[in-house]
Amino acid sequence: MKFKFLILVLSFVSFCVPSTFAQEQTPRIDTKDRFVPVIGRNGMVTSREKMATQIGVDILKKGGNAVDAAVAVGFALAVTYPQAGNIGGGGFMVIQLAKENKSIAIDYREMAPGGAHRDMYLNADGSVDEDRSKYTAKASGVPGTVAGLVHALKNYGTMSLKEVMQPAYNLAKNGFPVYNYLESSLNNRKERLSQNEAAAKIFYKADGSSYKYGEILKQDDLAWTLKQIMNGGRDAFYKGEIAKRIVADQKDHDGLINMDDMAAYKVVERQPIIGTYKGYKIVTMPPPSSGGVHLVQLMNMLENDDLTAMGHNSAALLHLYIESMRQVYADRSKYLGDPDFTDVPVAELTSKKYAQLIRSQIPMDRARRSSDIAPALSLLSESPDTTHFSVMDKDGNAVSNTYTLNFSYGNHTVAAGTGIVMNNEMDDFSAKPGTPNGYGLIGGEANSVQPRKRPLSSMTPTIVLKDDKPYFVTGSPGGSTIITVVFQSVMNALEFNMNALQSLAVPRIHHQWLPDVVMMEDGISKDTKDILANMGHIIAPMQITIGSLSSIMYRDGIFYGAADTRSMDAAAIGY
């Protein structure tokens, strides 16, 4: 009898303990869930490469905040993930500061050199010379990564530049074991990289053979560059010996970047795009990224539909996704560009009213043709080897950062004496309005080449707020697919209540207006594809992987991290 009474008392006490207390002590993982994310109680870092991820976690353990860790990861990826991690490219960073409840968007996108002009990639007959905008020195814009990372650290970090860069320097100077994905990547790009003497010297052995898994890759020139930045800060890169070496290499290879271009580079803090979806705030990147505008536009269009009732990845749901994607990429082709050079109708494109208008034009029983869809607003290509990382710290600060060289290894050249892989971001301009770029994206006059202009991007670093606190931090590489990849991950988390790993592990689709085909990953059922085909959707015959998300979810005092299951050697690490 006493035993039964004790059980009754304990049950009553357990019932009376505040639920928030219980939740703060126990991770929320459904025992039936096949997708179990990484769990942390003090912070979380997730990136495309695990050595860089660990460096970020080590910075958090030393007392650094999310910005300190993000900057450390950014420099580390330049060493360990050279196909996209960089100091020779540029990108975007979205920050949420907990104490100030402040959202920040840092634009450190590359800028066109002063000698760039509208027709610089056209042949005498008016056709586009694609090699010139992709694989030559003229393909490179002025790099923004160093300026962007230094700016973020100086204004929102707590540690010194030397502290956060030391791990990256050590990896470059002492070397690190070549891992699976890097071995494969260098082998796949060997033909082009070997054509550049400086690149071949770094990434291949003296006899021309490739590095094998587990062998040590050292980068002495890059170590020298990192040491210069550690000691001299931003000016060492944009005005000092590093700049001189970049400019000399540009001159030797008929490039355009000169010392004035380097010195003139500037970081811009912009007002983030902030949307709402069923009580959540969506904080994301404004132009010259098109990602934030179109992410919010997509979510606005579908906010009033009962998507949950349709079922995840059902034909009905995917039909709505495809038709909504079709419209936003049509709008992208006309309206988006560098806001410092062209008027971008951000407020109109992200308004609920506009979303309702274009949603009303989507039939539920049939597909439309892209040839019948035009940019609808009335004012009455990036590479799959972009990379993203996400960071959260114990104080509730969050960073979502996407940066890139454009193609894998940029233009496949290294600036001699620096170890810096140079970008080919000039291909993200519209070389000729109406002509597709390297990823099939159509651009207009708003994204034409002009001196000191930033090319349009699809990068979509995003932080979702719940009750004004970071709830879901995410982003992805993937060129033109970035917007739709991030969109689906956010919808998976918010609309279908998926955890951090499940939200990125399930199959994805993509449609970008032109070409008029639906890309699908393996895992979409044949029945679903047949229904969509009968509605008139054109399904691409080849199934591929789309994107590579790095996500963090924060619920009830627990960090849940996920690195994309599609990506070899990616890692989420918490502590």
Residue 567 belongs to some domain of the structure: yes
User: 497: buried, middle or exposed (CB in 10 Å: 19+, 13-18, 0-12)?
Assistant: exposed
Model confidence at 18: pLDDT above 60: no
pLDDT tier for residue 430 given thresholds of 50, 70 and 90: confident
Same domain for 365 and 497, yes or no, is yes
pLDDT tier for residue 11 given thresholds of 50, 70 and 90: very low
Token pair 């000016």: residue: 235
Q: What is the mean pLDDT of residues 451-458?
A: 95
pLDDT tier for residue 28 given thresholds of 50, 70 and 90: confident
Residue 23 belongs to some domain of the structure: no
Please tell me what DSSP assigns to residue 411: T
pLDDT (0 to 100) of residue 31: 59
Averaged confidence pLDDT in the chain: 92
pLDDT tier for residue 27 given thresholds of 50, 70 and 90: confident
* Residue 252 contacts residue 422 (beta carbons within 8 Å): no
**pLDDT > 90 fraction of the chain, expressed in percent and rounded:** 85
Same domain for 480 and 335, yes or no, is yes
**Residue 386 annotated among the catalytic residues of the structure:** yes
Task: Give 206-234 pLDDT, tens digit per residue.
Answer: 999 999 999 999 999 999 999 999 999 99
The two structure tokens encoding residue 65: 């905040």
Task: Give 464-500 pLDDT, tens digit per residue.
Answer: 999 999 999 999 999 999 999 999 999 999 999 999 9
Same domain for 531 and 390, yes or no, is no
* Residue 129 contacts residue 122 (beta carbons within 8 Å): yes
Task: Give 74-107 pLDDT, tens digit per residue.
Answer: 999 999 999 999 999 999 999 999 999 999 999 9
Same domain for 234 and 155, yes or no, is yes
Same domain for 246 and 322, yes or no, is no
E-only strand ranges, 27-119:
38-40, 43-47, 90-97, 102-108
Its domain, for residue 217, covers 40-269+384-427
Task: Tell me the three state secondary structure of residue 177.
Answer: strand
pLDDT (0 to 100) of residue 437: 63
Domain containing 564 — which CATH number?
3.60.20.40
CB burial of 312-323 (b: ≥16 within 10 Å; e: otherwise) equals bbbbbbbbbbbb
Residue 356 belongs to some domain of the structure: yes
Task: Name the residue type at position 128.
Answer: V
Task: Name the residue type at position 206.
Answer: A
pLDDT (0 to 100) of residue 184: 97
Model confidence at 265: pLDDT above 70: yes
Residue 14 belongs to some domain of the structure: no
E-only strand ranges, 242-362:
268-270, 273-277, 280-284
| Distance, C-alpha 521 to centroid of its chain | 19
pLDDT (0 to 100) of residue 432: 76
Model confidence at 204: pLDDT above 90: yes
* Residue 394 contacts residue 61 (beta carbons within 8 Å): no
pLDDT (0 to 100) of residue 8: 36
Same domain for 110 and 133, yes or no, is yes
pLDDT tier for residue 377 given thresholds of 50, 70 and 90: low
* Residue 473 contacts residue 489 (beta carbons within 8 Å): no
Same domain for 217 and 340, yes or no, is no
pLDDT (0 to 100) of residue 433: 67
Same domain for 314 and 354, yes or no, is yes
Please tell me what DSSP assigns to residue 1: -
DSSP string, 455-517: PPB----EEEEETTEEEEEE----GGGHHHHHHHHHHHHHTS---TTHHHHS--EE--SSS--
Q: What is the mean pLDDT of residues 132-145?
A: 97
Residue 477 belongs to some domain of the structure: yes
Residue 442 belongs to some domain of the structure: no
Same domain for 220 and 244, yes or no, is yes
pLDDT (0 to 100) of residue 369: 95
Same domain for 492 and 418, yes or no, is no
Same domain for 288 and 374, yes or no, is yes
Same domain for 292 and 265, yes or no, is no
The catalytically annotated residue of 145, 386, 418, 484 is: 386
Task: Give 282-322 pLDDT, tens digit per residue.
Answer: 999 999 999 999 999 999 999 999 999 999 999 999 999 99
Q: What does each C-alpha distance from 534 to 178, 287, 381, 475 come to in angstroms?
A: 48, 37, 31, 33
pLDDT (0 to 100) of residue 568: 95
pLDDT (0 to 100) of residue 431: 81
| Distance, C-alpha 334 to centroid of its chain | 22
Residue 372 belongs to some domain of the structure: yes
Domain boundary residue, one of 427, 447, 480: 427
Number of domains in the chain: 2
pLDDT (0 to 100) of residue 86: 98
Residue 17 belongs to some domain of the structure: no
**1 or 36: which leads in pLDDT:** 36
User: 564: buried, middle or exposed (CB in 10 Å: 19+, 13-18, 0-12)?
Assistant: buried
Task: Give 541-566 pLDDT, tens digit per residue.
Answer: 987 899 999 999 999 999 999 999 99
Please name the residue ranges forming H helices in 364-436. none
Residue 302 belongs to what H/E stretch? helix 291-302
**33 or 521: which leads in pLDDT:** 521
Residue 545 belongs to what H/E stretch? none
Domain boundary residue, one of 372, 406, 427: 427
Task: Tell me the three state secondary structure of residue 150.
Answer: helix
pLDDT (0 to 100) of residue 441: 58
Query: How much is the pTM?
Result: 0.93
pLDDT (0 to 100) of residue 543: 79
pLDDT tier for residue 393 given thresholds of 50, 70 and 90: very high
